[in-house]
Amino acid sequence: MEECSIGFLFGNIIDVLKNSTSPEHKQYVEALTENGRSKNQIIKDYDEIKEDIRKRCETRTDRVLLDRHKCIASFMLAILNHLAVAEKDLNKEYFAIFVGLAMIRIAIIKEGDISKNCKIINHLNDKGFIFPKCIRDSEPYARTWALGIHYGRLSGKLSALSMANSLYWIERYNRDLAGE
């Protein structure tokens, strides 16, 4: 998946949410599908964030294709900026993390030769994404990441490239755990 299409992102993540047993995920499905306002704002911002990253990454005159981690991080950031749900207890940040990891999982499954990715797919089916242990404290990794996203948002310094880097290393960590 060299370039993430918005239809691919929305379609797959809404399917994941609809199949979820979590009652809180229903509010996100409604916000993403109900009146389209959030969706339209997310699409517009997603395109702008991706284009900004592309310009920053280009070193030659031809167009740079973004990897899936940068596309998905752009989508996560657009969701954080425009998803019309009440904010409490880092719910938007946790949702952005959920979306990012769900999209990484979908990309791994869809990227082609399933037999090549059998170990990671089996690992994700059996255990889901496993986070590394935090070094500085005993807080769960997801909470530390959500707090970092939250304070990055508050300060106006949240970077899609930083989020893409986190996604890449979480995927890499789980590939290592899977024996790839």
Token digits of residue 27:
């509010």
Residue 109: the pLDDT is 81
pTM of the model: 0.85
Q: Is 21 helix (H, G, I), strand (E, B) or coil?
A: coil
Over the stretch 95-119, which tens digit does the pLDDT of each residue have? 899 989 988 988 888 775 555 678 8
Show me where the domains of the chain are located: 6-178
Token digits of residue 115:
């037999």
Average pLDDT estimate for 35-46: 78
CA nearest neighbour of 3 among 111, 144, 88, 131: 111
Confidence of residue 169 (pLDDT cuts 50, 70, 90): very high
Average pLDDT estimate for 75-81: 92
Token digits of residue 136:
């500085």
Cα gap 8→68, rounded to integer Å: 12
